[in-house]
Amino acid sequence: MATPGPLRYMETRARVYRHQWRGSVISTFLNPLMFLAAMGLGLGSLVDGGDRVASLGGFSYLSFLAPGLMAATAMQAAAGDSSWPVMAGIKWLKTYDAALATPVGVSDVVLGHIGFVTLRVAFATAIYGLIATAFGALPLAGALLAVLPAALTGLAFAAPVMAYTSGLERDTGLVGLFRFGIVPMFLFSGTFFPVSQLPALIRPVAYITPLWNGVELTRAAGLGTAQAWPVVAHLAVLAVYVVAGTWAATIRFGRRLTT
């Protein structure tokens, strides 16, 4: 039985990453660890001295922060793997042209890349979850359960960022994406403080971002506070980003690589 095209492309990406993983250690593991230590333990010692019951649901700031950082780590890893590497495959190294010269098709390349990124994000967030457990921020069961919504958050970024990148001629557009998109979401989508603390005019913007929905899902899973209706709503928003992003990436890749 022949191996499906997306799995064949995923295997290719995995073989390449086997020789490149050292370059992603700092961004994937060390940066979140330092944020968790500095913000969760350092700043958390000040925050926990106030009225945390009302603002953080009764949890310590370290416990509040840890699942938010897990979702944010998923966002950053997925966006990073779906931006410059995709640009390189299209424009600089032409690896997608090489892949399309085989029986692999455009949809196989798109689904294979997104699938590989999602698996890598799941692995990275699982390691992060174990570290958060060692810090005492999350129970082990909650940390492992939170990997699922964190991976979905990464998927919700991988597909749209891949679609966006496939239409660029220069990587300056990627600089703008991270500067005006990824970084503001990291800061203002509920990772470090409840979105309810933002001015009323800005809150609706945060509510429609994939990161806020991912943070809320990951936090609910990690801390055991999930409620049926909010979970369904967050899943629906993330599903829209995944489906629309995958569809757009397939269309734009087809136009870019086959014309």
Q: What is the pLDDT of residue 60?
A: 84
User: Cα torsion at 95, 101, 106, 107 (round to 10°)?
Assistant: -100
Residues of the chain with pLDDT under 70: 1-3, 20-29, 39-55, 259
C-alpha to C-alpha distance for 191 and 185, rounded to whole angstroms: 9
Say what the pTM is: 0.90
Residue 83 is predicted with a pLDDT of 95
Q: Quick one: pLDDT at residue 219?
A: 96
Tens digit of pLDDT for each residue in 52-65? 545 677 788 888 98
- Provide the pLDDT for residue 33: 74
Those residues whose C-beta lies under 8 Å from the C-beta of residue 187, and which sit 6 or more positions away, are none
Number of C-beta neighbours around residue 233 at 10 A: 14
What is the pLDDT at residue 17? 76
Nearest to 180 by CA among 148, 217, 209, 220: 209
Burial class for 55, CB neighbours closer than 10 Å (0-12, 13-18, 19+): middle
Q: How far is CA 55 from CA 33, 138, 171, 195, in A?
A: 24, 18, 40, 10
**119-153, pLDDT tens digit by residue?**
999 998 998 999 899 888 899 999 999 999 999 99
